[in-house]
């Protein structure tokens, strides 16, 4: 820990507290991340000063009363927020979630004991060095997540810790220690008491880590809020495309896509409706016709229950809906998709198609080259600013009015012209388009062939 240097603003906060006779340490995630060789993103400070004492000590700082009741004050130091929390002991947990009340204490050890995992319960300041009462450093070296104290009790106090353990294991490629893991399996139903959005936040982070082993080993935990996940386990697909059961396919596709929450969630959910849509042909071959719809129905319920926001939910739903549509490297088809779904969505669709193929049997990944080629084409279309939507068309509604069109005919004319441009049957050039428009046979918005 010798070369652990606190950033100036955190050091200033600790020094100020020390100068006033209080203990203060950087604590939790920042120490863990430093030992893992990861740049800490924020520095939390724990101190023997009470909130009232802190307010006096930081009288000349900007201070936000983040959670006075729980002892937390945010001190703005050098323009950066630092959360400073009084050493505390958590009171009775009545709802498996939050202590009824907290008691402030002057002993660092008591504050560290209330924390969830040994790797999260280390403290540091420049004068004392690292304080590691529960062997967090050793556990990090061994690569394990271990609950502090009796795991059953700790998970009963706060069920979210179950998912936090999975998140830390995934994000830092750690294993969950045996007793802690057994307790997680035993207590998984406690997650039912946890607010959807808190589960969603941990799940998204967990999925964006190295999550394959966690998804496999703790499929029963995931199934508490996504029951259909357990049904995928051991569900053989009986087609030549797949050499894995549905759960193993899902896990492989999650790992094969970049760690963005909406993409990882899409892969988690894209085939989740498969078991419900399985039919066995007379030839013994399995079919999952319409399963994208089945997955959408499951996904919609799941995203609502966990209170995922509209933006991410809409993306995930669209990506599930389209995960099976044919993508070829034909410029006109690609432009139609980009017009219909938007260019960013189309690029995501390609990523989903590639990841989906990566999860198939080795002999059935032949389309990946095509998908890469389609992506290249799409990027060329964007770079060349080629027209693929009405807004890029060289004529607009006013131009159509000027040549005498009205009502629904205007939209039909513009869309017909767009099709001609996309199919390279007409230049995206005003006079050429007007000429074509004049010769369209339109009646009440219908194009007469």
The region of 74-82, 116-124, 385-393, 441-449 touching ligand ATP under the rule CB under 6 A is: 116-124
Report d(CA 119, CA 168) in Å as an integer. 9
Smallest gap from Cβ 202 to ligand ATP, in A, equals: 9
Count of residues binding Mg ion (CB under 5 A)?
1
Residue count, binding to ligand ATP (CB under 6 A): 10
> How far apart are the C-alpha atoms of 50 and 105, rounded to whole Å?
9
Say if CB 191 and CB 202 are below 8 A apart. Answer: no
The sign of the torsion formed by the CA atoms of 96, 143, 227, 264 equals positive
Least separation in angstroms between residue 121's CB and ligand ATP is 6
Segment interacting with Mg ion (CB under 5 A) among 7-15, 21-29, 279-287, 314-322: 21-29
Q: Which two three-digit tokens encode residue 355?
A: 């990841």
Nearer to Mg ion, 29 or 294 (CB): 29
Residues 212-231 that bind ligand ATP (CB under 6 A): none
Q: How far apart are CA 264 and CA 171, in angstroms?
A: 14
Binding track, positions 326-355, relative to ligand ATP; x by CB under 6 A: ------------------------------
Q: How far apart are CB 134 and ligand ATP at their closest, in Å?
A: 11
**What part of residues 76-115 is at the interface with ligand ATP (CB under 6 A)?**
115
Phi, then psi, of 208 in degrees rounded to 5: -85, 5
Q: Give strand ranges (E) for 169-308.
A: 175-176, 279-280, 286-287
Q: Is 40 in the site for Mg ion (CB under 5 A)?
A: no
Q: Which stretch binds Mg ion (CB under 5 A): 9-17, 23-31, 300-308, 399-407?
A: 23-31
* Exposed/middle/buried for residue 448 (C-beta within 10 Å: 0-12, 13-18, 19+): exposed
* Binding span for ligand ATP by CB under 6 A among 47-55, 68-76, 153-161, 435-443: 153-161
Which residues does residue 446 pair with via DSSP β-bridges, in sequence order?
443
Among residues 160, 226, 400, 437, the one that binds ligand ATP under rule CB under 6 A: 160
Is residue 29 within the footprint of Mg ion (CB under 5 A)? Answer: yes
Residue from 23, 111, 116, 228 binding ligand ATP (CB under 6 A): 116
Residues 33-62 interacting with ligand ATP (rule: CB under 6 A)? 44
Write the DSSP assignment of 69-117 as a string of letters.
GGTEEEEEETTEEEEEEE-EEE--BSSSSSBS-EEE-S-HHHHHHTSSB
């Amino acid at each position: 820990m010798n070369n652990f240097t606190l950033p100036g603003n955190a050091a200033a906060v600790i020094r100020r507290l020390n100068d006033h006779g209080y203990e203060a340490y950087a604590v939790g995630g920042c120490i863990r991340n430093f030992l893992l060789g990861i740049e800490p993103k924020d520095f939390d400070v724990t101190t023997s000063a009470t909130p009232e004492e802190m307010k006096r000590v930081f009288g000349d700082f900007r201070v936000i009363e983040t959670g006075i009741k729980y002892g937390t004050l945010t001190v703005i130091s050098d323009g950066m927020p630092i959360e400073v929390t009084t050493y505390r002991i958590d009171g009775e947990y009545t709802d498996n979630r939050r202590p009824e009340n907290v008691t402030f204490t002057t002993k660092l050890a008591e504050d560290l004991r209330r924390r969830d995992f040994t790797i999260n319960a280390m403290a540091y300041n420049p004068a004392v060095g690292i304080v590691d009462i529960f062997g967090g450093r050793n556990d990090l070296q061994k690569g394990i997540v271990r609950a502090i104290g009796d795991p059953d009790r700790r998970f009963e106090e706060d069920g979210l810790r179950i998912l936090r353990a999975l998140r830390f294991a995934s994000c830092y490629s750690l294993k969950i220690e045996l007793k802690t893991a057994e307790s997680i399996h035993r207590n998984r139903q406690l997650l039912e008491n946890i607010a959807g959005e808190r589960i969603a936040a941990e799940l998204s982070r967990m999925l964006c880590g190295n999550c394959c082993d966690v998804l496999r080993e703790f499929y029963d935990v995931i199934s508490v809020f996504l029951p259909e996940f357990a049904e995928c386990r051991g569900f053989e697909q009986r087609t030549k495309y797949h050499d894995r059961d549905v759960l193993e396919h899902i896990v492989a596709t999650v790992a094969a896509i970049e760690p963005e929450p909406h993409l990882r969630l899409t892969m988690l959910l894209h085939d989740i409706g498969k078991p419900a849509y399985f039919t066995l042909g007379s030839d013994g071959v399995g079919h999952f016709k319409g399963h994208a719809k089945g997955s959408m129905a499951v996904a919609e319920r799941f995203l609502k229950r966990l209170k995922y926001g509209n933006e991410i939910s809409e993306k995930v739903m669209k990506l599930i809906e389209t995960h099976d549509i044919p993508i070829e490297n034909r410029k006109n088809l690609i432009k139609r998709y980009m017009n219909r779904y938007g260019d960013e969505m189309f690029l995501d669709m390609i990523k989903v198609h590639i990841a989906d193929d990566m999860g198939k049997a080795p002999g059935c990944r032949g389309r990946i080259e095509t998908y890469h080629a389609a992506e290249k084409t799409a990027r060329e279309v964007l770079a060349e600013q080629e027209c693929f939507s009405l807004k890029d068309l060289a004529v607009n509604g006013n131009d159509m009015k000027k040549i005498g069109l009205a009502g629904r005919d205007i939209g039909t004319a513009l869309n017909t012209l767009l099709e001609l441009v996309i199919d390279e049957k007409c230049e995206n050039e005003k006079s050429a388009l007007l000429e074509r428009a004049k010769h369209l046979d339109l009646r009440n918005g219908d194009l007469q062939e």
